[in-house]
Amino acid sequence: MTLSADSGGWFWKYGKVLEDGSILNINNVVEIDNIEKISKLINGGKEALNQRKEAFKELNKTFPNEKCNNKK
């Protein structure tokens, strides 16, 4: 489980390579409740978007975004 979280965190910060070869830190462009924007950045589209929205709702019960240290 630790390796899964570590690799997900790595991708979130270093794994999105743009067309010009630069690396995008997803934290710099996402809005915490914009599942569609996050999905497009990570997955390239809206496939399984409804499942992600439901998972986000469940996750937000355990980790409410009001308590997030990164919230702007």
Do 23 and 52 sit in the same domain of this protein? Answer: no
pLDDT in tens, 34-69: 788 888 888 888 889 999 889 888 888 887 766 566
The residue segments making up the domain with residue 46 are: 34-72
Q: Which two tokens stand for residue 63?
A: 């980790």
Same domain, 22 and 40: no
Q: How far apart are CA 34 and CA 31, in angstroms?
A: 5
Specify which residues 24 forms β-bridges with: 16
SS3 category, 17: strand
- Within this chain, do residues 39 and 26 fall inside the same structural domain, yes or no? no
Whole-angstrom CA distances from 2 to 10, 13, 58, 66 are: 12, 17, 21, 25
What is the number of structural domains in the chain? 2
For 1-10, which contacts have Cβ atoms below 8 Å and span 24 or more sequence positions? Answer: none
Answer yes or no: pTM beyond 0.75.
no
Does 72 lie in the same domain as 43? yes
- The verdict on 68 and 50 lying in the same domain is yes
Same-domain status, 59 and 26: no
Tell me what pLDDT residue 20 has: 94
Taking a C-beta distance cutoff of 8 angstroms, is the pair 53, 38 a contact? Answer: no
| One domain, residues 41 and 68 | yes
